[in-house]
Amino acid sequence: MHLPPADRTLSPHTGYSRAHWEAAADALLAAAEPYATEDRALYHFPGDRQSWSGRLSDGLEGYARTLLLAAFRRDETALERYADGLAAGVAGVWPRIEDRSQPLVEAASIALALRLTRPLLWDRLDDPVRQRAAAWLGDALTAEAWPCNWELFPVTVGGFLQEIGHAPAESRKAIDRGLERIEEWYVGGGWYTDGDGRKFDYYNGWAMHLYPVLHAWLARDDRLLELYGGRLSRHLEDYARLFGGDGAPMHQGRSLTYRFATTAPLWLGALTGRTPLSSGETRRLASGALRYFLERGAVDADGLLTLGWHGPDEAVLQGYSGPASPYWASKGFLGLLLPAEHEVWTAVEEPAPVERGDAVTPIAAPNWLLQSTSSDGLVRLHNHGSEDVRYDPYYTRLAYSTVTEPSTSYDNSVIVGDDPSRTDIVPLGVGDGWVASRHTAGGGARVTSVVLARGAVEVRAHLVTGAEPGTEVRLTGWATRAGVRTELLPAVGLDAALTGVTGEGGALFAAVARLTSEADPVPLGETVTVRADGPGELTVLWNEGPRVRVRPDGSGVDIVVEG
């Protein structure tokens, strides 16, 4: 991908300007075009992989997601091609939108693109084509959605159809139904769970906030924009802290192959004026993420987005991931809706939160503790509240970061017996420098966990109850990665191999961990002292900080900071 020279005057942190975003969008669109079918209704990208929805649906996905990119770019030449594809698609090529089917997802992208570019695309179509397209989209109004962010796809389709006067009553009903549904999943502080339970991930930004806020903005509905825009602004206070100094987003959750779609909520805040971030900080975070991926193999030699994180990587894929799935990243180009003279493009870049100083930040809604260090630009997420419906290493590990990824050797886990599982997570609170939770482990044992964090150092304590006496317990730390130092030292109840055994009643184990890119850090053993003070109680004395008393028990955790 050929990009303009770096602009270090306007963008001292990333070198990227609006011209870089335009060039990247143009290159992605040009690379995708040869894979369109002759009628332009489907885009079949190369490779052996096929999603569980099948080849036809995958081809529709290729059309819809690249159309969204063309819409954000407002490329009239490209939009003419997509108009041809739309006419063919609704004439019988595309699969129907049915209950819980992938075409419902893609219908939302198509409807949003048509709404954003109405004078350039929709209004230029022949009336019979418009009628067929509206009829095809109309099935989305009554199709059953999966009970998660999918509830917002009929909202997005309904918003467009209501605007053009098609099935206004049904459109209004679909909008109201979807917006009412997500109220059940709003947990406060700018955070949604993606459906029932406690599934916190990037779907907060690129779906749960994106669709309602864009709908309210496009509909010029001040009441809805005040509601959803306020939530977005609050979310961005936390969200901005999930990016490393190198631009990397936190490596946590599903659909990570969407990569720089992680920038969509940043741009959305600027677009709607609902953001706590300055224009220079917004662009620095967004451009940092785009640059991070473009420099690490996200695009292959043919200019296509690969299925993976850096380059191809099956570890971050799901059954629904097809050849065109990575083009959900098109949402990251939302910022191009803002004109070149907007401050988000003209302001000088400002440092990201991770670059402004070390921070340990509690996030109450997901019960996360973010730990960032400015010297190496690393961000660590201590997860004591997010869990998928099944054991999933991208949701249920104790910690994640911007430089590591979950490993098959069960990093950041408490292994009771031979079982590394962590289910039924119960948040026990998060505060200044600490976070705690309780979960079910192997053999029905219960583990109450507390993490204290300061600088790059962590103290991890785990009270294991309900296990048979003599059960082995092993703690694991951060996954290894070139250029990063990972350390885990035993502190209480563990031998040099980070292994201990349970006795009668509960058994308390503690270790000191560190993840850092610093070349010559202070020896880990000199940063903190951890000792057991009677059964079930720890005293933690930071070398340059306070003394903290920690008492986990079966019902909760007591944290007392002394000076």
d(Cα 530, Cα 513) in Å, to the nearest integer? 12
Give the count of beta carbons closer than 10 Å to the beta carbon of residue 283.
Answer: 32
- Tokens (6 digits) for 73: 């770019």
Q: Given this chain, do its domains 18-354 and 357-562 carry the same CATH topology? A: no
Tracing tokens 């953001």 back to the chain, one arrives at 275
3-state DSSP assignment of residue 484: strand
User: Closest Cα to residue 83, out of 144, 141, 28, 124?
Assistant: 124
d(Cα 419, Cα 401) in Å, to the nearest integer? 23
User: Closest Cα to residue 546, out of 526, 525, 563, 529?
Assistant: 563
CB burial string 6-39: b at 16+ within 10 A, e below = ebeebbebbbbbbebbbbbbbbbbebbeebbbee
Question: Hey, what's the torsion of the CAs at 476, 407, 457, 238, to 10 degrees?
Answer: -130
Q: Which residues pair with 406 in a beta bridge?
A: none
Give the count of beta carbons closer than 10 Å to the beta carbon of residue 468.
Answer: 11
Per-residue pLDDT at 312:
97
Give the count of beta carbons closer than 10 Å to the beta carbon of residue 359.
Answer: 15
Query: What is the third-level CATH fold of 18-354?
Result: Glycosyltransferase (1.50.10)
User: Directed axis angle between helix 210-219 and helix 102-116, to 10°?
Assistant: 30
pTM above 0.85, yes or no: yes
Mean per-residue pLDDT pooled into runs of 10, the chain (563 residues): 97 99 99 99 97 98 99 97 99 98 99 99 98 99 98 99 98 99 98 96 98 99 99 99 99 98 99 99 99 98 98 96 98 99 99 99 99 98 90 93 95 96 96 97 93 99 96 97 96 98 94 97 97 93 95 90 86
- Tokens (6 digits) for 151: 């509830």
Domain ranges of the chain: 18-354, 357-562
d(Cα 455, Cα 358) in Å, to the nearest integer? 6
3-state DSSP assignment of residue 362: strand
3-state DSSP assignment of residue 36: strand
User: Directed axis angle between helix 210-219 and helix 222-239, to 10°?
Assistant: 150
3-state DSSP assignment of residue 34: helix
Instruction: Indicate the class that CATH gives domain 357-562.
Output: mainly beta
Per-residue pLDDT at 563:
73
- Tokens (6 digits) for 72: 């954000």
3-state DSSP assignment of residue 457: strand
Give the count of beta carbons closer than 10 Å to the beta carbon of residue 348.
Answer: 13
Per-residue pLDDT at 554:
73
Do the beta carbons of residue 349 and residue 87 sit within 8 Å? no
Do the beta carbons of residue 495 and residue 429 sit within 8 Å? no
